[in-house]
Chains A and B, each alone.
Chain A
Amino acid sequence: MTRLAFEHVTFRYPATEAPALEDVSLEVMGGEVVALVGSVGAGASTLLLVAGDLAPRVVGGRIEGHVTFEGPGPRGIVLPTPWTQLSGMAFTVWDEVAFGPANLGLPRDEIVRRVDHAVARLGLEDLGSRDPTTLSGGELQRVIVAGILAMRPTLLLLDEPTAELDSVGARSLWELVRMLASEGTAIIVATSELDALPAVADRVVWLERGRVAATGPAALLASDVLVVANLGTTVAAVWRAAGLPSPYPLTVAQAAQRWERR
């Protein structure tokens, strides 16, 4: 069973005094989708790097507290800017997706199986022989996600995964996230696309200046404190702005229901 646990983790980047994460405690199990919300620089990306064993190992810096990861498979992280995540060693999309599995030293037929599966999941069949440097931002984002999925991670970390995607692409991605969770993957996603979260996230963690300010189910996004901080769903924000009473509705469906009952 996959498990990631943060116990009172404080992390500082190199040559910086102010902590990027302060006294963060968190537990994520396989099959859960945890969403990180917060203003820019609140520490969501840093948390993902620490969860992915990239900070401080690759990034440098100092860490206090404990991070525990138990899982049958690896952890994989998808960072926000797709073009910097290209391997640089692959000249076709198929090879790009195969980059991770090939590095793991897997036998060739296993690689082919995994890559074909990942390519199909992300709808990339038509792009298989294209040169990755000729793809659009959205296509590239999907290729990168496929590349990570081909490694069969049991902990998947996503940093703004829909930033480059249009609404159709974003919807597919969120569906994929739910599907992966139902297969047992533990998923932590940092996103500013708050409206998608009620259907996707089991839990929401609000980060403010490196600290966990609040945590709870997705309904947290309709709570007063988050809506005031501009971190609620659009519907909740509009409801509040219209001067209507709390509790604010989380989704459009809820808002329609409450409106009917007025």
Chain B
Amino acid sequence: MTQLHPFTLLAIAGALPALAWILPSPAGGLSTAAVALGLAIAARSFRTAVFTAAPFWLFLLLLHDVPTTIAIGLRLTTMVASFVWVVAALPAPRLVEAMVAAGWSASVAYVFAATLSAAPVLRARARRIADAQRCRGLSPRGGLAQRLRALRALALPLILSALHEVDERALALETRRLVPGARRTPLSPPSDPPGQRIARWGLVAACAAALAWRLK
């Protein structure tokens, strides 16, 4: 499964929820949910899928009657399980390499990859700032105004320091010749046999056909 081309994995992860919505409930939703959960089991992320999807069932029961709950619940389960599966089965570097190899502009691959690496760094910094401010007396108690001021004391240094780095990062990328719109040499392009490419388009066609049939 991890040998499949990243775009194939994404196509499957996109087609399953699409079909869950297009096909009539409950048979449609049930079959797609079953496939999605099966994939999640194969990727050893079944528990994550179930725990993420479970609260929705609870709240749906609170708001809707049983048939609606089942219909929406199955669709959401399909979506959740598909996403959880693709995140477990597709490491980000492989996806970035696939984008580069497919000739996507360096900028798009960069923006996606850089966010993935920057987010944990900024999150860790946010926690450090929170710790530092806690030493200075910041506490989650107090009135709304006090908490908003505390939020400002946390968020402002985080954001300003991140923005200050934008210039340095731009300089570093420039010197290493990242040109928006230019094509990079892919370092380890995932293999993309024609069978998979046909299968991807087949999935798109199947969804379109299902939609056309449904709208008739």
Contacts and interface: CB of A to CB of B under 8 A. Distances in A.
A105 B182 contact: yes
B196 to A, nearest CB: 22
The contact size tier of chain B is: 20 to 34
B90 to A, nearest CB: 13
Interface stretch (B21-29, B57-65, B108-116): B108-116
Given A58-B171, A88-B118, A103-B106, A108 B187 contact: yes
Interface stretch (B81-89, B126-134, B148-156, B173-181): B173-181
Contacts of A106: 185
A107 B185 contact: yes
B170 A147 contact: no
Interface stretch (A75-83, A181-189, A213-221, A248-256): A75-83
Contact of B176 (A105, A108, A147): A147
A5 to B, nearest CB: 20
Contacts of B110: 87-89
A140 to B, nearest CB: 12
Given A87-B172, A91-B92, A103-B179, 7 more contacts: A76-B176, A85-B168, A91-B117, A105-B185, A106-B185, A133-B117, A148-B175
Contact of A89 (B96, B174, B179): B96
A198 interface: no
Contacts of B182: 103, 105
Contacts of A99: 176, 178
A111 interface: yes
Given A85-B172, A105-B182, A108-B187, A91 B177 contact: no
Given A89-B109, A89-B114, A102 B175 contact: no
A148 B184 CA distance: 16
A179 interface: no
A103 B93 contact: no
Instruction: Identify the interface centre among B117, B168, B175, B177: most chain A CB within 10 Å of its CB.
Output: B175
Nearest to A147: B176
B185 A111 contact: yes
B121 interface: yes
B183 interface: yes
A104 interface: yes
| Contact residues of B: prevailing secondary structure | helix
Given A95-B187, A105-B182, A108-B187, A59 B172 contact: no
A86 B117 contact: yes
Interface string B37-74: 00000000000000000000000000000000000000
Contacts of B96: 89
A186 B179 CA distance: 25
A54 B184 contact: no
Given A79-B172, A103-B178, A108 B117 contact: no
A144 B169 CA distance: 13
Contact of A133 (B121, B171, B173): B121
Interface string A98-130: 111111111110010000000000000000000
Nearest to A108: B185
20 contacts: A58-B170, A59-B167, A76-B176, A77-B175, A84-B168, A84-B169, A84-B172, A87-B114, A87-B172, A88-B114, A100-B177, A102-B184, A102-B186, A103-B177, A104-B185, A105-B182, A108-B186, A133-B121, A148-B175, A148-B176
